[in-house]
Amino acid sequence: MIKVHTAEFVTTATKLEDYPRHNIPEVAFVGRSNVGKSSMINTLAHRKKMVRVSNTPGRTRTLNFFDVVLEHRAKKRTVRLCDLPGYGFAKVPKSERIIWDKMIDTYLGNRHTLKVVVCIIDGEIGPTPDDLEMLDFLQDKPPRILVVATKLDRISKSARKPMLLKIQKQLELPDNALLGFSSNEDIGHEDVWRTLLGIIG
C-alpha cells in the first residue's frame, strides 16, 4: 500500500536555469492536450486541485514542478512530478509551438534527475499520430518511458482489456508494458506508483 503524506507546488520554469536544484528523482508527464494529464497528476498526488484542470487545449505553457512525499514499505521518500505542456493542439500559433518544443526538448534532454517520462494515451480513442511522434522522440532521450492509457472509465469493463491489447500492438510495446488508468475510478492508481518507484529504485 502506497500512502501519500504531502503534495505541494514547487515552482514554474521555462528555461534550464529556473529548474529546481534539489537532487530529487523526477517523473515527467507528457500527453496530447486534454488527454487527462493534469487529472492524472492530481489523482496520483491525492489532491483535487494541485494541478489546474482546463478544458481549453494548450492551457499549460510552462513546466510545473510538484513534490510528493509518500510512504512505501515503511519508508518515506520524495518524488518530484513535472507537468509538461500538452501537444497536438491546432489553435496555438506555430511560433509559440516552436518555443514550447524547444523548452520541452531542453528539459527532456538535459535534466539529470529525470528518471521516467510517463506518456499518456487516451484509452478511449487510442494513440494518435502526435502520440506516435512523441514516443519516437522520447526513444532517443535518457529517461525510461512508461506508457499509460487513461480514461478507462469511459470504456465498458468487458472492452478494457481488448482495448489495452490493441493499443499495445499499435505501439509495438512488449507484454505488460502498458498500464490502464482512470482518474474518475480506482483503476491503475497503485499500479502506476508501484511501477514508477520500481524504475526509480
63-72/75-83 β-pairing: antiparallel
**How far apart are the C-alpha atoms of 144 and 129, rounded to whole Å?**
21
Q: What phi and psi, each to the nearest 5 degrees, are found at residue 135? A: -60, -40
Radius of gyration of the chain measured on its C-alpha atoms: 16
pTM of the full structure:
0.91
63-72/3-13 β-pairing: antiparallel
Domains by residue range for the chain, with CATH: 3-200 (3.40.50.300)
pLDDT score recorded for residue 91: 62
Distance of CA 88 to the CA centre of its chain: 15
**How far apart are the C-alpha atoms of 113 and 69, rounded to whole Å?**
16
**How far apart are the C-alpha atoms of 101 and 53, rounded to whole Å?**
21
Nearest Cα residue to 127 out of 97, 95, 149: 149
> Per-residue pLDDT tens for 59-109?
557 899 999 999 998 899 999 999 998 887 656 677 777 887 888 889 998
> Per-residue pLDDT tens for 87-98?
876 566 777 778
Q: Cell triple for residue 99?
A: 518555443
pLDDT score recorded for residue 18: 93
> Per-residue pLDDT tens for 14-28?
889 999 988 999 999
